[in-house]
Amino acid sequence: MTTGQFLISGWTWSGAFLAVGAVAAALYITMFGVRRRLGYFAAAIAVSVVALISPINALADGYLFSAHMLQHILLLLIVPALLLLSLPRSVSLAVRPRALGHPLVGWIAGVGAMWFWHVPALCDAAVSSRPVHALQTISLLVLGSVFWRQILAPREKERLSPPGAVLYLFSACITCGVLGIIITLSPVTVCSIYTMQPVDRFGLLQTIRLGWGMTPERDQQIGGLLMWVPMCLIYLSAIIAQIARWFAEPVVPATQTT
Amino acid sequence: MNEVTTILDRAGLLTPLQREHWAMAWISTVDHKRIGILYMLTALFFFVIGGIEAMLIRLQLAVPHNALLAPDTYNMVFTMHGTTMIFLVAMPALFGLANYLVPLQIGARDMAFPRLNAFSFWLVPFGGLLLHFSFLAGGAPAVGWFAYAPLSETPYSSQVGVDYWALALLVLGIGSVGTSINLIATVLTQRAKSMTLRRLPLFSWMIFVNSFLVILALPVLNAALVMLLIDRLLGAHFFLPLGGGSAIMWQHIFWAFGHPEVYIVAIPAFGILSEVIPVFARKPIFGYEFVAGSTVAIAFLSLLVWAHHMFTVGLGHTVDLFFVASSMLIAIPTGVKVLAWSATLVGGRIRLDTPMLFCVAALVQFLLAGLTGISLAAAALDWQTKNSYYLVAHFHFVFVGLIVFAILGALHYWFPKMSGRMLSERLGKWTFWLMTIGFNLTFITQHFLGLAGMPRRIYTYADLPGWGWMNLVSTVGAFVMAAASLLFVWNLAASLLRGKPAGDNPWNAWTLEWAATSPPPVDNFRRLPPIRNRRPLWDDANPDRPDPMVGSKGKADTFAPEKNKTAIILFIISEAAFFAVLILGYLFFNATPQPGPSSHDLNLLKTGIFSLCLFASSFTIWRSERSLSQGRHRAMQSWLAATILLGVVFIGGQGLEYWTLFKGGVSVGSNLFSTTFFTLTGFHGLHVCVGLIALLIVLGLTLAGDFKRSPSPALKAVGLYWHFVDLVWVVVFSTIYLLPHFR
């Protein structure tokens, strides 16, 4: 199969995804109505489609570690952030035992999701077993939401202060970046399943290895680099947004005070 | 002697009491202003040394086939020039300015930890002596300031120069981390009440952000240095391909430090420009928020993009591509800054006094440095120019064109504050023009030399077309710069003696340091003007049209944590960076099995039991803290003693393990496993010992009756450190002992 053919036929439509997506959309519209924030929700659905339906999903399914990494980043960092942004500002996300709302919990959820699913055995299992894969997808969305809640909770009160948020994002980025560095520079394979001959469902292997020049080593390198560089840019964008939020407070003309 | 006292006296730098013991008064000082001045004087001293080395280099390269310096001597001189200028000139000068100015700008009496401050300073001359002692001990290092392995390893550099180099940089690195912890703690905990974080002057803000970079980046260098020393002194092979090590790993770790280092010295220079340009343009800075925010973005990006120093190593197209893209991104936040400064100039009533001249030149030259920087970020172009004088010209445009010019601008700007006297404007202008002409003559020429193919790091060259005269021009330029430097030193000395009295605020500036007298008294301020925005002195002078109020409401604005806790958390962050490198090194070097001892030779059960003791001690110290807060003094002491006992048992266990391994013939240099094992566990053990000493001191103090009346932050701080040491062991234990069983 050539690249062009694959881009057309590589879409993996799944009933479960469509059902969940439809129910979520229906729920969203009945609960919050059609308003400006619907755009964020639509974007979240669109990114989920890219991650879980588009050819990226097919590639992540046994062919390419780097595609898996892209999927991972989209599901952990982009989709949950967009979902939180889509909520109206009045929604409270306070959690019952107050300790669960601690920033450390959010931080560990975000960073832990990165590290946990790249333990070699788990990384392989998520590719080879359907239930584990489903568990991984759900856990990424949930943990990502827990992570972003500290930054993007609809209510200002439930968010970290901007400088705190900068430290939160910065340390999370460094800790995930270190994993990216390990994966990039490591002489051993992280997910060995991608180095084996996959079940070539699309007849694409020739194209990938020869046409695209994707050896397993280069594939892992790209995966690590995606985590090291572009992923950190997501955190950086969030940091810049936080600084903007901090400095955006309107200035009070001097005459009005004192 | 008497002359010195008269100079200091006339400059008002001594109180009558101190006149008699002036030397002692300076050596034993813990006043941030004096320490700042000492930092700057040390930097000036080493600037002269590094400058002489630069002149030797330029003399040697003035004509083709020159034999003034022997090849090895040349290598030593150029290594020492680079090392001196970065670690003993740029960093101390900027730390000195930060030390002097940050407390004044934020309305504080002193730094958060005056004695730590003195300690950090004295490490600089100590490190400098250590480095230069190598000349007497058998030859200075001759491996470049980057000390690439394997050249820096024993088989290729058998003399002690590299050892002194590594030890000196370790000492200096520890001092830098100490100062930076102190600066962050000062900004966070010592600000005047109404000096909220959003009202910080940009210089203080940038020093604040920059200090985080220092505490993250310097430990990475320290880790690289201890690994190099272990290679050289204990026969290990971290970076020696001969023994299975990886020379590229040295480059990775070195540049993981080395790239942020560029920003560590550049960001304070940005801070200087952001202070001086508005004052002399008579306008508030354009886009304070953007200048402040882009600093955070620059600091952040600088930690990620070090691999662009390694395009020619052969990491592969894939890696190169990512780092080309991310390196070019840095142009955005730096561009934001350049635009903000330029926009500040637009429409201002510009006064071209010497400080402003230096800063405007720095701005222009930095723009050029940035443009060549972008060209070097393109890997394909980098391959052609990396090893040439084009690169030399580029980074000298950053280090001299921006940083040295900014420092000179800062010194001309703040000298009146520090001494109470104005520098001679006439001499200042001469200095400026000589410096600018000399600098551009030297380094613009080198761009073309590089494009004409002249490689760097060579002691002489063939008489190829154009090379001879361009090198000569470059050398002439260098001597013009030397003349400018001498003129500057003369100006300093002469103005200190005979300068016009400055008054409190000679430039009509707006930040708090100008509210103090010149020089400021020991406790800095008699009275602080009200602070409601970023230009308190403007408001003070123009009550009828004050600036709008900014940054007052937020919780974060008035954030002021307890200082001991702050400092220990910052220390823990920097230690975490150090351990992260060692742990990554362990993972990297043990990724593939190798002949000889391995982690399967370790006794999991025994070490597990001793580890439990260490983990238990986290509980006991927590109990000890609780007892203290409940006022149960006896219980606190018992729990503390139990903690120490458990720690000692753990160290005993580690000693036992080492002994068993030694008996079995396993030593540091046996293979990469044993090297990484002993390095990682050894440094952890060292930290346990340090923790034990701290705990013993606290125990001794409580036995002597301290802490009775008020709850002490000391126990809490030591406790935090102890938890950290335990946490590191959780990671180390899992990595070394548990991980292999899951493979």
* A257 Cβ under 8 Å from any chain B Cβ: yes
* d(C-alpha B162, C-alpha B611), whole Å: 37
Match domain B563-742 to its CATH number in 3.40.630.10, 1.20.120.80, 1.10.3720.10, 3.40.309.10. Answer: 1.20.120.80
With both helix axes pointing from N to C terminus, report the angle between B405-419 and B32-61 in degrees, rounded to the nearest 10.
150
* d(C-alpha B305, C-alpha B315), whole Å: 14
* B197 Cβ under 8 Å from any chain A Cβ: yes
Start-end of CATH 1.20.120.80 domains in chain B: 563-742
pLDDT (0 to 100) of residue B6: 59
Which of A214, A247, A257, A258 best probes binding to B when mutated, by most B CB atoms within 10 angstroms?
A: A247
* d(C-alpha B10, C-alpha B85), whole Å: 32
Radius of gyration of chain A (CA): 20
Would you say A202 and A58 are in contact if contact means Cβ atoms under 8 Å apart? Answer: yes
* B535 Cβ under 8 Å from any chain A Cβ: no
Average pLDDT, integer, range B681-701? 95
pLDDT (0 to 100) of residue B572: 96
Give whole-number Cα distances, B184 to A244, B206, B273, B553, in Å.
22, 11, 21, 22
Q: pLDDT per residue over A96-142, tens digit each?
A: 777 788 999 999 999 999 999 998 888 889 888 889 999 999 999 99
Average pLDDT, rounded, for chain B: 93
pLDDT (0 to 100) of residue B332: 94
Both tokens assigned to B192: 């005047």
Q: pLDDT per residue over A174-184, tens digit each?
A: 998 899 998 99
pLDDT of residue A236 exceeding 50, the answer is yes
Contacts of B325 in chain A (CB under 8 A): 229
pLDDT (0 to 100) of residue B1: 43
Distance between A254 CA and the closest CA of chain B, angstroms: 4
pLDDT of residue B243 exceeding 90, the answer is no
* d(C-alpha B547, C-alpha B550), whole Å: 9
Average pLDDT, integer, range B71-81? 95
Average pLDDT, integer, range B588-615? 90
Q: pLDDT per residue over B255-301, tens digit each?
A: 999 999 999 999 999 999 999 999 999 999 999 999 999 999 999 99
Average pLDDT, rounded, for chain A: 88
pLDDT of residue B730 exceeding 70, the answer is yes
Would you say A11 and A53 are in contact if contact means Cβ atoms under 8 Å apart? Answer: yes
Which of B188, B211, B531, B549 best probes binding to A when mutated, by most A CB atoms within 10 angstroms?
A: B549
Residues listed for chain B: 743
pLDDT of residue B412 exceeding 90, the answer is yes
pLDDT of residue B29 exceeding 60, the answer is yes
pLDDT of residue A258 exceeding 80, the answer is no
The percentage of residues in chain B with a pLDDT greater than 90, rounded to a whole number, is: 82
pLDDT-derived band at B142, boundaries 50, 70, 90: very high
Average pLDDT, integer, range B190-214? 94
Which range among A38-42, A88-92, B690-694 shows the weakest confidence by mean pLDDT? A88-92
pLDDT-derived band at B686, boundaries 50, 70, 90: very high
Selected residue with higher pLDDT from B678 and A124: B678
* A227 Cβ under 8 Å from any chain B Cβ: no
Both tokens assigned to B575: 């230690």
* d(C-alpha B609, C-alpha A197), whole Å: 44
Q: pLDDT per residue over B369-388, tens digit each?
A: 999 999 999 999 999 998 99
* d(C-alpha B453, C-alpha B461), whole Å: 11
pLDDT of residue B366 exceeding 80, the answer is yes
Would you say A152 and B219 are in contact if contact means Cβ atoms under 8 Å apart? Answer: no
Neighbours of A72 (CB within 10 A): 25
Homologous superfamily (CATH) of B31-541 is Cytochrome c oxidase-like, subunit I domain (1.20.210.10)
pLDDT (0 to 100) of residue B14: 63
Selected residue with higher pLDDT from A10 and B408: B408
pLDDT (0 to 100) of residue A254: 56
Both tokens assigned to B310: 């390694």
Average pLDDT, integer, range B40-54? 97
Would you say B87 and B127 are in contact if contact means Cβ atoms under 8 Å apart? Answer: yes
Average pLDDT, integer, range B623-629? 89
Question: Where are chain A's structural domains?
Answer: 7-91+99-247
Within 115-174 of A, beta carbons closer than 8 Å to B belong to: 121, 161-164, 166, 170, 173-174
Distance between B298 CA and the closest CA of chain A, angstroms: 10
pLDDT-derived band at B5, boundaries 50, 70, 90: low
pLDDT (0 to 100) of residue B16: 67
Which range among A108-112, B420-424, B539-543 shows the weakest confidence by mean pLDDT? B539-543
* A187 Cβ under 8 Å from any chain B Cβ: yes
**Are A188 and B591 within 8 A, CB to CB?**
yes
**Are A246 and B554 within 8 A, CB to CB?**
yes
* B247 Cβ under 8 Å from any chain A Cβ: no
pLDDT (0 to 100) of residue A257: 45
